[in-house]
Amino acid sequence: MTRTQASPVRSWTASTSVLSLRNVDVHRGEAHVLRDVSFEMPPNAVTALLGRNGAGKTTTLLAVVGLLAATGRMSMAGTDLKPLKVDERVRQGIGYVPEDREVFADLTVAENLRLAMRGPESQARLQQVHKLFPILHERAQQRAGTLSGGQQQMIAIARALLNDNKILLIDEPSKGLAPAVVTEVVQAIEQVKATTTILLVEQNLAVAARLADHALVLDQGRLVYSGPMEDFARDTEATSRWLGVDIRPKAVGGRGNE
Amino acid sequence: MAMNDVISLLISGLGLAGIYFLLASGLSLIYGLMRVLNLAHGAIFAVGGFVGWAALEYLPVEPDWLRFTAALVLATLAGAMLGILIEKGLLARLYGRPYAQMLLTLGLAFAMTAFLGGWLGHDPLTLKQPAWFDEVTVIAGSRVVNSRLVIVGIALILFLATVVFLRRSKHGLIIRAGVNNRSMVMALGINVSKSFTLLFVIGSGLAGLGGVLAGVFFGSVTPELGTQQLIFAFIVIIVGGLGSLEGTALAALVVAVLQQFVNYYGPPGAGDLVTVLLLAVMLLVRPRGLLGKVAA
Ligand SMILES: Nc1ncnc2c1ncn2[C@@H]1O[C@H](COP(=O)(O)OP(=O)(O)OP(=O)(O)O)[C@@H](O)[C@H]1O
Ligand SMILES: [Mg+2]
């Protein structure tokens, strides 16, 4: 079965969805990067945002956070995001894990985490984060810039877990990491996914297939697929067409092949 | 060279370094965090000098060291208040328009200098310093004017206080992180502009206080005090590395001590020339400065 047309997920309406984008357009300089993008995200599920390099995945996350200007409508759990500034949007309950981790290199690990803590519940969450990533506890007083890429990725994910967020936006958590570290990061996301809504950008189709329930696929700034992750991953014609991936996804760790 | 000269020159250099640090640190952090170049910062420094002069001249406070303390406090407050006015009243309306901000603060610098000159004249006004300041303390066999020691002591305390503020307070954490990557700080749900306003106020207060110390160091104040010293502050900032407090302190030491020694042993004006040469070398060899966080 091939889906070349975007088929909006109809079972979730704007009112029940955690994140809703309607007719969103984004320009970056001269480039018209997102074109009329609309989607809804159901709660307590992982939605993978897929597409080739330059398709507009990172741009979509930046527009949601407010770091890029966008036209169209955007709301989170019923709250209109458009009039809010970046910090106000985030305080509404967004945990953002940027593409290149963007930890504060000169600050210690502990300071990086402290900066992300917003409310009284953060202290308790810090304990959970330390359980999830014990290395962040061991290296608390070390400068974050001296950590490995994988450890910095753990800081980036940890920052998003320190607050009671409505949604996590995670941009390519496996980028540039060794396979063993990828497995560790994937397991961490698996642990939190039952209780959180996650929009996950992931180049590694196997990782996406393992973590995601739903898939959104972008091609040159347009949404070309919206539906179950499983269906998309199984559709070799679609994956090769939209992602340039020919091989069928292999499961990462623990789970057998599809 | 005689050991006596070396020690007294060194202490003079340290005092001058303290003044440069007070002027440059705010400027550097403000730029590092918000990419705002406040060209009126030197004028705030000059206003601080004049407030200090007026306080020492007219305040009916005895003994004289208490009057001097009051002069420092008043100049700091004047600087801080000017800072709030400039940030809240003008710059905040021009966010994301760096050239407009620069032109505006440049205009403000000219206007404030002209205003001071029109009101109080352009002749140097001599500061009535506490009597003890002019006396001499012998350190390791060398005679050092007390006012130099006062300047060094005050600058050192303020440097340490600033370091503690940046290291220990939540706002300090936000400022350090923001110099590194402001968008990401915002994306953690933090309102950076609050911390920026605080930084602007602190930086302007330090500049105001620095103006009094400069008046003590040079013996008098003129409306042009700010513009003259601002040039050296820029050199210090670039040599030290934009956005780095420790870099600014280190560069202030290097520039001021070098300037003092070359001025004393070299031909007239050589000290200033050497600092400009140092700037040129730095820009060519290491443009991000000694401990810089952001490219110049
Ligand atoms: N700073 C920028 N200025 C102008 N155009 C940009 C900028 N950054 C990205 N773009 C353009 O926007 C488009 C989408 O980029 P985006 O980073 O969103 O892609 P992506 O899907 O995240 O790709 P990747 O998989 O490589 O991370 C690309 O065509 C890119 O060239
Ligand atoms: Mg990307």
> Of all residues in chain B, what percent carry a pLDDT higher than 70?
97
- Report the C-alpha dihedral over residues A85, A86, A87, A91, rounded to 10 degrees: 100
Predicted confidence (pLDDT) at residue B83 exceeds the cutoff of 70: yes
pLDDT at B1: 53
Confidence check: pLDDT of A255 > 90: no
Give the percent of chain B with pLDDT over 90.
Answer: 76
CA–CA distance, B59 with B38 (Å, rounded to integer): 31
Ligand 1 in reach of A53 Cβ (< 6 A): yes
Here the tokens at position B34 are 């918000």
- A110-114: long-range contacts (C-beta < 8 A, 24 or more apart)? A110/A140, A110/A141, A111/A144, A111/B173, A111/B177, A112/A144, A112/A155, A112/A159, A113/A155, A113/A158, A113/A159, A113/A162, A114/B173
ipTM: 0.88
pLDDT tens-digit series, residues A4-20: 444 444 444 545 789 99
Question: How much is the pLDDT for A254?
Answer: 41
- What pLDDT sits at residue A27? 97
List the domains of chain A with CATH numbers: 19-243 (3.40.50.300)
Per the prediction, chain A carries an average pLDDT of 89
* Residue B97 confidence (pLDDT) above 70: yes
Q: Confidence band (pLDDT; 50, 70, 90) for A185?
A: confident
Q: How far is CA B84 from the centre of its chain?
A: 17
A204 lines ligand 1 (CB under 6 A): no
Q: What is the pLDDT of residue B125?
A: 94
Please tell me the pTM assigned to this model: 0.89
- CA-CA distance, A9 to B50, in Å (whole number)? 69
For residue B155, what pLDDT is reported? 96
A96/B176 CB distance under 8 A: no
Q: Is B174's CB within 8 Å of A111's CB?
A: no
Q: Find the mean pLDDT for residues A120-141.
A: 94
Please indicate whether residue A28, judged by its CB atom, sits closer than 6 Å to ligand 1.
yes
Q: What is the pLDDT of residue A194?
A: 83
- Please check whether residue B292 is in contact with residue B49, taking contact to mean a CB–CB distance below 8 angstroms: no
Task: Give B99 or B215, the one with higher predicted confidence.
Answer: B215
- A115 vs B191: CB contact, 8 Å cut-off? no
Taking CA atoms, A164 is separated from A21, A229, B38, B110, B266, in Å, by: 22, 26, 39, 51, 65
Residue B96: what pLDDT? 79
Give the distance between the most distant pair of CA atoms in chain B: 59
Q: Ligand 1 pocket check: which of A32, A50, A53, A59 to mutate, most ligand atoms within 8 Å of Cβ?
A: A59
Helix axes A149-161, A179-193, angle to 10 degrees: 10
Domain ranges in chain B? 3-229
Query: Which residues are B138's β-sheet partners?
Result: B143
The answer, yes or no, to whether the previous bond of A228 is cis (omega within 30 of 0) is no
Residue B167 tokens read as: 């290291």
Ligand sitting nearest the alpha carbon of A54 = 1
**pLDDT tens per residue, range B165-189:** 999 999 999 999 999 999 999 999 9
Check residue B3 and give its pLDDT: 66
Which residue from A180, A186, A181 is spatially nearest to A206, judged by alpha carbons?
Answer: A186
The pair of three-digit structure tokens given for residue A245, joined into one six-digit string? 């991936």
Closest CA relative to residue B23, chosen from B155, B161, B206, B148: B206
* Residue A73 amino acid letter: R
More confident: A257 or A250:
A250
